Amino acid sequence: MTMKNLCWIRRDLRLHDHHALSMALKNGEETYITFIFDETILKKLTSPIDRRITFIMDSLKEIEVSLNKLGASLIVRYGDPKVEIPKLVDELKINGLYFNRDYEPSAKKRDEDITKNLQKKGIDIFSFKDHVFYEKTEVLNGQREVYKVFTPYKNKWLETFRSQESVVANYKCNLKKLKTNKNSNSLLKVDWYKIINFIETESILKGGTTHALKRLENFKKNISNYKMARDIPALNQTSNLSAYIRMGNLSIRDMIRMSIEGFDEGHSTWLSEIIWRDFYQVILDAYPKVETHCFKAEYDKIEWAGSNAHFKLWCEGKTGYPIVDAAMRCLNESGLMHNRLRMVVASFLTKTLLVDWRKGEHYFAEKLLDYDLAANNGGWQWSASTGVDAQPYFRIFNPYNQSEKFDSDGLFIKEWCPELKLFSSKLIHYPHESDMVEQIEAKCFIGKDYPHPIVSYKGQKEKALAMYKAIK
């Protein structure tokens, strides 16, 4: 009997260094690859225009072109994976299903249901660690528990890494064993946008491994300056790889291999960011309640006093705080946001506008090209002081100070709030403090061309402290 395997790709859209695909090819005489457009996820998206769909489609088309050159193809379906995967297993007479593990609660439940269903039919199920470098059981404290503070977790992560002689596996894929399904719908010949009810849109980032590798190579040229430059939005010297990592165009091991090529602060800072990513994945896996609840349970008692009207203005980039508005307009137009600015706008929403962090987290989930539940949730709960190893509740970012420190010349503000571009490098952070002559010179009238601050930072800070103290 011919051993037939099916590799189900989800958030690992590549053909190299792919754990599940590597093992499926190694253990089978014939291997097929499938991607399911998951209707249970797509139907929850609020707009028929979503840059992430275009990014995924770019990634899948690149895979399809590569497979076609080998005489194979990608099997693409639309529907509920709990229905489509068993149907495909029956149709192709599959012996073994292979996939890489996902740590989001809904994904874990989906995979458990499919596994139970297929095992009853005698199908072998193989799942693999691929999305993270270490899973929750591999980096534990002295009590054999998951770490809840990042720094000791990072230290243990590095200790574990060094104890394994800093070896980074590379799961090579012998693609010659891939097969095609003549009845599958080709990505290159079928209008999948119509099938999944989405509209193709322009994206500032082109999906796929080719573009990911180019960005990785470009980042190598600047990584030595990463520690200093990463906080300055206008410099654009972050890696710009987060969407490619999220969609799996690159493997986490690609990232780590690059991070240990050098020994300067830039390389070590980049590795630290990768470890943060593992940390948040571990927290979500071990404590799935954080998807909807505060990690620190007592903070679920907070009575968020912020208004829906203020939340709407925050979403639209019309708060009267230039650095916040520039960041939000950038997000809305591009699907991207600099990491420093994510902290600024999150702190502003929760501790200046006093709006529940979950509203901001959900808005980011709708807009971010690199949206990842674990990282997004972890970041928002960190900013709101409700999460694991979060900043203290009394640490409240001053948006004016953040603006002057990280966009001193207002270059980022000028790009995304062009109505402010003629203000001086000082006034651009405080345009509401300009007099009429200065507004005439800047051709921008506060209250008409750009809004007054919708709240007083100083007054709101006192309210925020009282709000948090009320639950202590």
List, by residue number, the catalytic residues: 273, 276, 304, 339, 357, 380
Sequential DSSP letters for 413-467: HHHH-GGGTTS-TTGGG-GGG--HHHHHHHT--BTTTBPPPSS-HHHHHHHHHHH
Instruction: Give every CB contact of residue 49 below 8 A, 6+ residues apart in sequence.
Output: 198, 199, 201
d(CA 343, CA 345): 6
What token pair was written down for 164?
């394994």
Give yes or no for a contact between 4 and 90, defined as CB atoms under 8 angstroms apart.
no
What token pair was written down for 23?
């093992």
Q: Count Cβ atoms below 10 Å from residue 200 Cβ, excluding itself.
A: 12
Minimal CA–CA distance to 79: which of 50, 57, 110, 51? 110
Say how many residues make up the chain: 472
DSSP bridge partners of 99: 127
What token pair was written down for 356?
């529940």
- Phi, then psi, of 72 in degrees rounded to 5: -120, 180
Q: How far is CA 252 from the centre of its chain?
A: 13
d(CA 132, CA 135): 7
Instruction: Give every CB contact of residue 304 below 8 A, 6+ residues apart in sequence.
Output: 354, 355, 356, 467
| Radius of gyration for the chain, computed over Cα atoms and rounded to the nearest angstrom | 24
Side chain identity, residue 164:
Q
d(CA 321, CA 326): 9
Minimal CA–CA distance to 353: which of 391, 315, 387? 315
Sequential DSSP letters for 211-223: HHHHHHHHHHHHG
